[in-house]
Amino acid sequence: MKLKGKIITSVSLMLILAAALFVYIKFYYVFGEGVKAGELNFVVYKGYLWKTYEGRAIQAGFQKGSKGVSTAIQSYEFDFSVADKAIADTLMRCSGRNVQLHYKEYLGALPWRGQQKYIVDRIVSVE
């Protein structure tokens, strides 16, 4: 094999490895995990090609006002996907209740895993 062929092969191999590493980090590496609590707004099963379970929990809290402005109530919407059908079915029966959900955060969403980068993998508690 000539030198030119070895260089092309080496560069091609490095590009393929770099692309594989990028895809792994972007879509499969768990960037963070934790628990979020709030009132479960909804869980739906939707999608055109890949049907996935999508949900939203409303987290109420207080917003600190600036100088001369009083404290106000604010809400944060936690949009998530659920990969496990059993967890999604349980959550569908808990709409309007306070829940604590354990989630994993990815840097990117995959269409067959869900539309969100937050994937709920466990229900911690339902009140």
Under the banding of pLDDT at 50, 70 and 90, the label for residue 116 is: very high
Under the banding of pLDDT at 50, 70 and 90, the label for residue 69 is: low
Q: What is the dihedral of CA 3, 8, 11, 12, to 10 degrees?
A: -150
Higher pLDDT, 108 or 75: 108
- DSSP annotation of 47: -
